[in-house]
Structure 1
Amino acid sequence: MLSVLLSGCGGGGGGNQGSGLAGLFGLGNGSQGSNGTGQGGGGTGGTSGGTDGGTSPAAATIALVTKLGKPARVLFGLGLGEMDQMKSQNIHPDIIDTYLVGTGENTWPSWNSPDGAFITYTAQTNQAYGAISMFTLYQMQGDLSRINDAAFMSKYWGQTRLMYQLIAELRGPVLINLEPDFWGFLAAKRSDHDATQVPARVNNQPECAGLPDTAAGFGQCLVQMGRQIAPKALVGFPPSFWSGTAAEIGAQMRAVGADKADFIVAQTSDRDAGCWEVTPRPEECKDRTGTFYWDASNKTSPNFHDSQKQISDYRAALGNGLPILWWQTPMGVPSDTPGGTDLHYRDNHVDYMLRNAQEYGDIHTFAIVFSRGGSLQTSLATDGGQFARLSGQYLARGGAALK
């Protein structure tokens, strides 16, 4: 099962386009040259996740964490595949993230019996450990070719409905990350990023009657189905910036209903930076160019303030003042020596983000979720205790305030 859970997604911002299961969630250079964190604009609106008629962005962020029953600080999370190490190192994350992969035969509904019981068992395990469950719905796997195929979409919507039905039966709220990669491939489909011009099978679903049979309607249906079946579910969309600016992608994602979600999923990175630096590269780190190890002094690009500004600019373009969750943050250990070896590639996201978590709180982040992006990447078992030490120090400081 672990290999399935690590199969992950492609995408993220900038750089070369993601490559589905082989590529996973990258981040490119983003907005260049920023020396500040940037402040996203908080819109007003009446959606369940955004700011309601004058509610401040800070209030929206605090309200979401309150719904989760967690302390009013920036939360942290880990991937399900690290559970044994969480227990052995006495790490208690606020959130545990799990993939739901594929559509059709031998996909996530069949992982346990009866169909879909994987969701129930996983959520019960997470609840017993004191963590909120986050499910990453990855049924499309970034593939646009089947969105207008009647047989495929019938299975797709049936599985999505099953997910929501099972989540509705759970005790307490659940976070859902809706279809990473897909939105990046959708943006690349047309130079104008117009999701209303891409055909899809949507309005034959009872929960989505009246929505357009387009990719825009597809995204809106994901939200609308969830609202009707599992009203306690909190949903978020992960934008990809492979082929557009933050403003352009914000406009696309408004069309697909991302402004009606409960939060924004900021795709932090790809694999450990060092995996892209070695020669030869392992198979799971192919086909990217650029600089991968971010400048922690934030003087040269790419750096952490670049990525903060990119997602803040997107948040402003999306409008509605949604809180941010940073997702799939790699777990490598800082080093002045490029590269590394399998399971020990260098990276500095954990070190920077846990030491500087207030920067993320200041731009309306409510959570940062860390997890390895492939079987050869650094994990809790191979990071020399880095995550346990830094997360412990973070909690001892009282955490980062929500704004």
Structure 2
Amino acid sequence: MAVKLGKPSRFLVGLGTTELADIQKQAITPDIYDQYLVGVGDGSWPTWNSPSGAYVQIVAKNADTMGAVPMFTLYQMASNGDGNLTGLSNTTFMKNYWNNVRLLFQQLKTYGKPALVNFEPDFWGYTQRASNNADPSTVFALVNIDADCSTLQNSVTGIAQCLMQIARKYAPNAYVGFPPALFGDLHTTALSYMQKLGADKADFIVMQTLDRDAGCFENTPQVSYCTRLDTPWYWDEANITSPNFKEHFALAKTYYQGLQLPVLWWQTPLGVPSSQFGSALKWRDNRVRYFLTHTSEMVAVGGIGAVFSPGEVNQTNINTDGGQFKTYSSSYLAKPTALP
């Protein structure tokens, strides 16, 4: 797959939700450049530039400037609120949803070069909960109202099939992937659910890490943009106490073996290791350090690459990490890990 993307056959390193100028300022050369596509209806991503959907070409051009493959994280299902599934039965919402999906892949066809698309992070976890960990075909969703998917089932299974069907029809140069939900209550059942979705018919698996730096959740009292009760958040680099990196890689391996697709880590936090939790824009984390010094472990569980990015505006970024990402990514690229 790396070769199909026009990249070397080595573990790939990407950046997301980061301005082109900031990347160029540090002379960083990412393999993948990721940006979100959000919203349905008024104010959604097709309206950000003119003509409609031109934002895709802007991101793709920026990626080309860096020699990177453009990646788009389609995040439209959260338009009504994270975990709100009421839009699935709303005709207006779903018609606009499918129109946006088609526009994305029409734009990627125009682009004409390889691109990556990440389908709806977290959405699949919320629908899994709605199905009581059973079958995505039991959760209703309007699908066959769209002309490109008129023969498909009106269900969450149908959504997954329609996303791939539109992608294959309009942009054969696009490679698509589904992100299994890493919600703690779904760890034992997420693989089965993704298999029932037909995620094995995609091109890669999107492996999520954490959408915030660990220190942001660890801080007491928790700030408004980091309020979750689970603990601990900082992974043990010695891989002795839980949670740790080997546990996470073992989970990734189950998806790799179960879906038989390469694994791409996405939205990996950029925080810097520290004994202190940190503060806004400088929260602590150790995933950059561990990931980029243990790439062989990631390849061994099916990894093709990792994309690093802040999942929220108050998280550590490449302008506030003291040059950590530049240092570790440069060191890795000087002695990269080959893909099998």
Structure 1: distance between partners of 2:279 and 2:185: 34
Shift of 1:152: 0.8
Corresponding residue of 1:335 = 274
2: CA distance, partners of 1:280 / 1:243: 23
| Cα distance in 2 for residues equivalent to 1:193 and 1:304 | 29
Structure 1 residue aligned with 2:195, among 245, 249, 254? 254
Q: Shift in Å at residue 400 of structure 1?
A: 1.2
- Distance of 1:257 and 1:169 partners within structure 2: 27
CA shift, 1:246, in A, is: 4.5
1:204 corresponding residue in structure 2: 145
One-letter code aligned to 2:250: K
1:156 to 92, 97, 114: 97
Secondary structure of 1:77's match?
strand
Kindly indicate whether residue 4 of structure 2 is the aligned counterpart of residue 67 of structure 1.
Answer: yes
1:216 paired to 2:154: no
1:178–1:235 contact (8 Å) kept in structure 2: yes
Query: Which residue is 1:92 aligned to?
Result: 29
Tell me, yes or no, if the aligned pair for 1:237 and 1:265 is still in contact at 8 Å.
yes
Q: Structure 1 length normalisation: TM-score?
A: 0.81
Question: For the residues of structure 1 that align with 2:333 and 2:160, how far apart are their CA atoms?
Answer: 36
CA distance in 2 between counterparts of 1:315 and 1:129 reads 29
Other-structure match for 1:383? 321
Matched, 1:140 2:77: yes
Picking from 113, 129, 132, the partner of 2:50 is 113
Tell me if structure 1 keeps the 8 A contact 2:108–2:115: yes
- Contact in 1 for aligned 2:143/2:162 (Cα 8 Å): yes
Q: Could you tell me which residue of structure 2 aligns to residue 5 of structure 1?
A: none
Distance 2:38 2:230 in 1: 28
Per-residue deviation, residues 141-182 of structure 1 (Å, max 9, x unmatched)? 143211121111011001111111011110311000001111
Superposed displacement of residue 193, structure 1: 2.8
Task: Report the CA distance shift for 1:119/1:199 in structure 2 as closer, same or farther (over 3 A).
Answer: same
**Would you say the 8 A contact 2:214–2:234 is kept in 1?**
yes
Question: 1:137·1:178 contact (CA, 8 Å) conserved in 2?
Answer: yes
Deviations 1:187-209 (A, max 9, x none): 11122331111111112322222
Give the share of equivalent positions with the same residue, in percent. Answer: 45
Report the Cα distance in structure 1 between the residues aligned to 2:184 and 2:339, rounded to whole angstroms: 31
CA contact 1:92–1:131 (8 Å) conserved in 2: yes
How far did 1:291 drift? 0.2
Q: Distance in 2 between matches of 1:373 and 1:196?
A: 30
- Coordinate RMSD, CA, aligned: 1.3
Report how many aligned residue pairs link the two structures. 336
Q: Which one is further off, 199-208 or 350-359?
A: 199-208
CA contact (8 A) 1:77 1:93 kept: yes
The AA in structure 2 aligned to 1:171 is G
- Kindly indicate whether the alpha-carbon contact (under 8 Å) linking 2:117 and 2:177 is maintained by their aligned counterparts in 1: yes
- 1:109 is displaced (CA, Å) by 0.4
> 1:323 is matched by which residue type in structure 2?
P
1:357 aligns with 2:305: no
Between the aligned partners of 1:332 and 1:243, the Cα distance in structure 2 is 22
User: Where in structure 2 are the equivalents of 1:1-400 lying within 5 Å?
Assistant: 64-141=1-78, 142-242=83-183, 244-246=185-187, 248-317=189-258, 319=259, 321-337=260-276, 339-397=277-335, 399-400=336-337
Q: What is the distance in 2 between the residues matched to 1:193 and 1:395?
A: 43
For 2:196 and 2:28, locate their aligned partners in 1 and report how far apart those are by CA, in whole Å. Answer: 39
- The residue number in structure 2 matching 1:11 is none
Q: For 1:181, give the aligned amino acid.
A: D
Give CA-to-partner distance per residue, 1:58-103, whole Å, 9 cap, x none.
Answer: xxxxxx1011110110000001424222111110100000000010
The whole-number CA distance in structure 2 between the counterparts of 1:306 and 1:172 is 36
Compute the displacement of 1:244 (Å): 4.9
1:109-160 deviation per Cα after TM superposition (whole angstroms, max 9, x unaligned): 0110111101011111211221110000001014321112111101100111
What letter is aligned with 1:230? A
Give the Å deviation of 1:245. Answer: 4.8
Once residues 271 and 207 of structure 1 are traced to their aligned partners in structure 2, the CA distance between those partners, rounded to angstroms, is 37
Letter in 2 for 1:351: R
Q: Which moved more, 1:289-298 or 1:137-146?
A: 137-146
**Runs of 5+ consecutive residues of structure 1 not aligned to the other structure:** 1-63
By relative contact order (CA 8 Å, sep 6+), the higher-ranking structure is 1
